[in-house]
Structure 1
Amino acid sequence: MSDAVRDVIYRYPPEARDGVLALRRLIFDVARGLPEIGPLDETLKWGQPAYLPRTPRTGSTLRAGLHKDAQFALFAHCQTTIISSYARAFPGWDRLDGNRAVLFDAPGQIEPERLSYLVRHALTYHLRNPNGPKRISTGTALERQG
């Protein structure tokens, strides 16, 4: 873990810090079981710890950090199907923030077996979806024309 990532995580309140560290362990554990993605990079994006396969066009970034409606959250790119696929696979199991995050109020709410599905989906997203994230329609007249 880089000093920058460590500094951010250790500034979080204790519940959030412990939860983000548990999510970090889960992400790295899942990544070790996916040799096709190569090494995983840990950086800061939007001021939060972020995890992405180093090999381009392999996976989609996951972030772990504070959330306004929870102690902490696991975030995915909102223009992907990562959270929506997870929600369909496990309907009603977790509190979600739309198509962008799974919310937690305590580290004990992290269910590794279930969340591994989401992490695998994110880290292999572009391997399974070679055309990349699906564009989300805004319903404008230009989109309807063409």
Structure 2
Amino acid sequence: MKPEIDTKLSEYPAEAQRKLEAVRDLILAVAEENNLGEVEETLKWGEASYLVKGGTTIRMDWKENDPDAIKVYFHCQTTLIETFREIYPDEFEYEGKRAIVVPLDASIKEGPLSHCLQMALKYHSLKHRPLLGA
């Protein structure tokens, strides 16, 4: 993990840190499993941010004004959240057209979240397919 990401996460409560690290691990695993190349990890707008060539940026953060959840953000001008809502209407809580809300007491595992991350990491090759090829 890059030092600036580690420093940022260390500012958060322990449970939020664990959830953010679990999502980070899942992003890296999805990229590796799908042979998507190197994952660029950086801070954008003060949030941990992940991108691979051919994908769209995934950001994640914990906010003090919503202390019981972390949020995984996607570019709001994509069809990602709209597609996620269609495919997974009951698996997640969504924030507008930009985020999946992950409660701190939720389990981070493969399955729907992994699939959503995969669609974001492959977005530019999927964006013209109905439901992003899901």
Runs of 4 or more, structure 1, over 3 Å off, are 67-70
Structure 1 match to 2:30: 30
Matched, 1:60 2:56: yes
Unpaired runs of 5+ in structure 2?
129-134
Distance change (3 Å), C-alpha of 1:11 and 1:63: same
Larger radius of gyration: 1
| Coordinate RMSD, CA, aligned | 1.6
The Cα shift of 1:110 comes to: 2.8
Mapping 1:18-97, distance limit 5 Å: 18-35=18-35, 37-53=36-52, 55=53, 58-67=54-63, 68-69=65-66, 70-97=68-95
Residue identity in the other structure for 1:64: M
Distance in 1 separating the partners of 2:21 and 2:44 = 16
Distance in 2 separating the partners of 1:32 and 1:116 = 12
Structure 1 match to 2:97: 99
Q: Is the 8 A contact 2:91 2:112 kept in 1?
A: no
Residue aligned with 1:112, SS = coil
Distance in 2 separating the partners of 1:129 and 1:49 = 24
Residue identity in the other structure for 1:40: V
Structure 1 match to 2:16: 16
Distance in 2 separating the partners of 1:107 and 1:26 = 17
Distance in 2 separating the partners of 1:88 and 1:110 = 21
Residue aligned with 1:96, SS = strand
Residue 118 of structure 2, aligned match among 120, 123, 129: 120
Distance in 2 separating the partners of 1:111 and 1:85 = 20
Cα-to-partner distance string for 1:67-91 (whole Å, 9 max, x where unaligned) = 4434211111111111111111111
Residue identity in the other structure for 2:81: I
Number of aligned positions between the proteins? 126
